[in-house]
Structure 1
Amino acid sequence: MRLHRNLVYAVIDGLDKIFNEKEYADKVVEKLLKRDKRWGARDRAFIAETIYEIVRWKRLYTVIAAVNPPYNRDNLWRVFAVWAVLRGHRLPDWKQLEGTPVRRIKGKFDELSQTRKYRESIPDWLDELGVQELGEELWEKEIHALNEQANVILRVNTLKTDKKTLKKSLAEEHIHTQELKGLPDALVLEERANVFKTEAFKNGWFEVQDASSQLVAPFLQPEPGMRVIDTCAGAGGKTLHLASLMENKGQIVAMDIYGNKLHELKRRSRRNGAHNIETRVIENSKTIKKLHGKADRVLIDAPCSGLGVLRRNPDAKWKLQPEFLQQIRQTQQEILQDYSKMVKDDGLLVYATCSILPSENHEQVKTFLNTDQGKQFELVKDKKILASQSGFDGFYMALLKKKPTK
C-alpha cells in the first residue's frame, strides 16, 4: 500500500497522545477516526492498525530508532520509519523520512530479535515476572501469543435473534463469519470490519466479546428465575450474557464502584432487550451488607493486571507498573472476602480474571479457601485459559460452592 501523507500525520498525532500524553490507545484511535469524513474503510484500518502495531512493538522500534522519551515529533517520525521499513513499505520522498537508514534498521532488527524482551517488546520487569510465574518455556510461548492481533469475535444476543439469522444478516452487509467449536453463541469474523455500523448491531443482535470471556457466564450456571449478582459489572459484557442465559427471567443486580460504567450498561441493556438487570453503585460497605446471603449466584470478575488481554490492549504493558500488581492482589483478596458474603447457602460463586498470572488466579483462590470466610466454600472446579493454547485471550475462572450452614 502506498503511504498517504494525511493518514501518516494522523498516526503521528495518535502516537504523540499515547506515548507523551499517556492517553489510552483505544480512545485515541476512536477520536482520530472521526477526523476526516472522506476516509474510507481502508484508510481507517491503516490508521488504527498502524497505531496499534507501533504501540505493541514500542520497545523494539524505539531502540532500533535510537530515541528516548519524551518523544518529540522528529523522534516519532523515526519510529514510524522503522515500522515502514520492517513492514516492507517503499518510503516516499518526504522531508520527515529523509536519510532513513534502511540497512541499519534491518540489521538492528535481526540483532535485537535474538533477545526476548526486545523481540516481544516488553519491559524488563514484566519479562522477569513472566518467567518467575509461568517458567521460561511457557512464558516464551504465552508472550508471543499475546503479541498477535486478536480476532473479532461476536456473541449472539439470544434474547433477540439466533446465530443463523445473525450470520445471514451480516453476510448481506458483506461481513462473513465462522462458528466457533464449543461456544454455542459465538461467531468469529473472517476479516476485520466495523461491525458497529451494521443494522444487526443497531438492533441489539450481538455484542463484541472474546471467546474466553464468553465462557465465564455459563461457568456460573445461572438459571431463569434466579437472583444473580455481578459484582464488578463495569459496562456489562458478562451481565448481558447472564441476562441471555436467564432468558430475561429472575433478577440480575449489576454492581460497580464506577457509576459511569453502569450508565453505559443501562444503555447497552436497552439495545439488547435485557429487562431483568438492576444497577447499583457500590458507595460503601452498606451496599454489600444489604445483599448478604441473598444471591443464588455471584460473579466476581475481579480487577486485575489485564495481562491476558494484551492482544487487544497492547498499551497496557507500558502503563502497568510492578507496584500496581502488589496493590491489585490485595484488592482481589479483599473483594473475595467481602463479596462472597452475598452468596446463599448452596449458592455458587465464580471468581474470574483476564490475567495469566497464577498469583492473581488459583493462588488467590487457595489463599481465600484457607481464611475463616473462605472455609464456608469449596472449590468445585477451575479453568485456566492461555492465549498460546487457545488462540484467544488469557483468562482464569474458579467455581466455588457455599456449604450449607450447620
Structure 2
Amino acid sequence: MRLHRNLCFAVIDGLHQIFNENEYADKVVQQLLKRDKRWGSRDRGFVAETVYEIVRYQRLYAEIANVKAPYDRDNLWRLFAVWATLKGIKLPDWKYFTETPTRKIKGRFDELSKIRKFRESIPDWMDDLGVRELGEKIWTEEMAIQNEQADVILRVNTLKTNKKDLQLKLQSEDIETEFLSDHPWALKLTKRANVFKTEAFKNGWFEVQDASSQLVADFLDVKPGMKVVDACAGAGGKTLHLASLMENKGQVIAMDIYESKLKKLKVRARRNGVHNIELKVIDSTKPIKKLYGKADRLLIDAPCSGLGVLRRNPDAKWKLEPEFIENIKKTQSEVLQQYSKMVKNGGKMVYATCSILPSENQKQVENFLNSEDGKAFKLIKDKKILAHKSGFDGFYMALLEKKTENT
C-alpha cells in the first residue's frame, strides 16, 4: 500500500480532534469524509478505518511510540508511524517519518501484546472493573472482540417490505447481504458499503441496527393496538421497530430528555411510513406522572456505560471515567423506580442496556425487584448477550410483568 499525503493529513487532523479536542470519533469521521469530493470509496475507507484503528489502539501505540497525551502533531505522526509499521506499510521519506525505529516498534509490540491492558488498549481502571465483574476469561475474550470492526447489520422495515425483497433490491444496487439465523429482521452486509445512498434506504425499507439491538423490541412482546411507551427513545431505532411489530396500530409514545433526538426520530418515522408514534420531551416529572398506570408495555433502554458497544464507539474507552459508571448506575436505579409506575396492572416492561456489566444489568433488576415499587413486578425472563459469543453487540434485556391486583 502506498500512502498519500492528503489522506494521511486527514487522519492526523481527525486524531487531533478526537484526542486533544475531545470530539466524538463518529462525528469527526463523518466530517473528514466530506473533505474532498474527489476521494473514491477506497480513499474514504482508508481515512475512516485508519482513524478508528488508531483510536482503538491508542494506549498500545502510544506506549510503543513512547508519547503521552495531549499529543502534539509530531506525536500524532509517531502514532501513525507505529500503526503503519505494524500493518507492514512501507513509510515514505517524509520528514514526519525520519528516524522511525521500525525494528524496535515490532519488538515492543511483541512484548506489550502479552499484557491485556496494552494488547486490547484499555485504561487500568476499566481492566480492573471488567475482571472484577466478569472474571479473567470472559473479560479477556470480550475485550478482544470489542477491538474488531463491527459488521453492518440492517433491520428490514416490515411495514414496507420483507427480508427477501429487500435483499433483492439491494442486490440490484450492487450490495450483497446474507440472512442471520435467530434474527428474523436482520440482513448482514457481506462487504461494507454506503447503504444510506441506496433507493431502498430513501424509500424507508430498512434501518441500520445491530442484530443484538434488534432483539429488544421483540422481547417486549407487543401486539397491535397496545399503548406502548419507549421511555428512553433517543433517535428511535427501537421505537420504529416497535411500531412495525405493532403494524402501525395502537400507540407508541417515544420519550426522551433530548428534544433534538426526538426531532431525528420524526424524520426517520416519516421515511419508515410510521404514523402511530407520539413524541414527548421529558422536561419535568409531569410527562411521566401523566402516564402512571396507563402503559400496556414499557421499554426502558437505559443510559449505560456502553461497554457492550465499544466496537462502534472505540473512543468511549478514553472518554469514560469510573465516576461516570457509578453515577449512571444511580440514574438507572432512579429511572427504573420512576418510569416503572407507567405500567398498568398485568402490563409488561423491558429493562435493557448495551452494557456487559452485571452491576448495570442483573444487579439493577434484582435491586428493583427487592424495592417497594419493584414488589409489584415479577421477572419473566432475561437475556445476556456477550459479543465474543454472539459476534454482535453486547446487550442485556430483562422482561418484567406487573402483577394484577389479586395476585
The reply to whether TM is greater than 0.5 is yes
DSSP 3-state at the match of 2:255: strand
How far off is 1:374 after superposition?
A: 0.1
Separation in 2 of the partners of 1:217 and 1:394? 16
- Quote the residue 2:339 is aligned against: 339
Matches within 5 A, 1:147-162: 147-162=147-162
How far off is 1:279 after superposition?
A: 0.3
Give yes or no for the alignment of 1:177 onto 2:177: yes
Give yes or no for the alignment of 1:298 onto 2:291: no
Deviation track 1:366-404 (CA, whole Å, cap 9, x = no partner) reads 000000100000000000000011010000000000001
Matches within 5 A, 1:139-150: 139-150=139-150
- Quote the residue 1:249 is aligned against: 249
Separation in 1 of the partners of 2:319 and 2:173? 37
DSSP 3-state at the match of 2:249: coil
In percent, how many aligned pairs have the same letter? 71
Matches within 5 A, 1:390-401: 390-401=390-401
Separation in 2 of the partners of 1:392 and 1:2? 33
How far off is 1:286 after superposition?
A: 1.0
- Quote the residue 1:205 is aligned against: 205
DSSP 3-state at the match of 2:211: coil
- Quote the residue 2:19 is aligned against: 19
Give yes or no for the alignment of 1:63 onto 2:63: yes
Separation in 2 of the partners of 1:185 and 1:69? 43
Separation in 1 of the partners of 2:148 and 2:96? 29
How far off is 1:98 after superposition?
A: 1.3
Separation in 1 of the partners of 2:179 and 2:46? 27
Q: One-letter code of the match for 2:278?
A: E
- Quote the residue 2:88 is aligned against: 88
How far off is 1:173 after superposition?
A: 1.6
Unaligned runs of 5+ in 2: none
- Quote the residue 2:271 is aligned against: 271
Matches within 5 A, 1:106-255: 106-255=106-255
- Quote the residue 1:389 is aligned against: 389
How far off is 1:124 after superposition?
A: 0.2
How far off is 1:154 after superposition?
A: 0.2
How many residue pairs are counted as aligned between the two chains?
A: 406
DSSP 3-state at the match of 2:313: coil
- Quote the residue 1:98 is aligned against: 98
Unaligned runs of 5+ in 1: none
TM-score by length of 2: 0.99
How far off is 1:165 after superposition?
A: 1.3
- Quote the residue 2:281 is aligned against: 281
Separation in 1 of the partners of 2:4 and 2:131? 42
DSSP 3-state at the match of 2:207: strand
Q: One-letter code of the match for 1:159?
A: L
Separation in 1 of the partners of 2:170 and 2:82? 37
Separation in 2 of the partners of 1:340 and 1:249? 23
Separation in 1 of the partners of 2:277 and 2:361? 28
Q: One-letter code of the match for 1:178?
A: E
Q: One-letter code of the match for 1:353?
A: T
How far off is 1:111 after superposition?
A: 0.5
DSSP 3-state at the match of 1:212: helix
Separation in 2 of the partners of 1:204 and 1:39? 28
TM-score by length of 1: 0.99
Q: One-letter code of the match for 2:252?
A: I
**Cα RMSD between the aligned structures?**
0.6
How far off is 1:196 after superposition?
A: 0.7
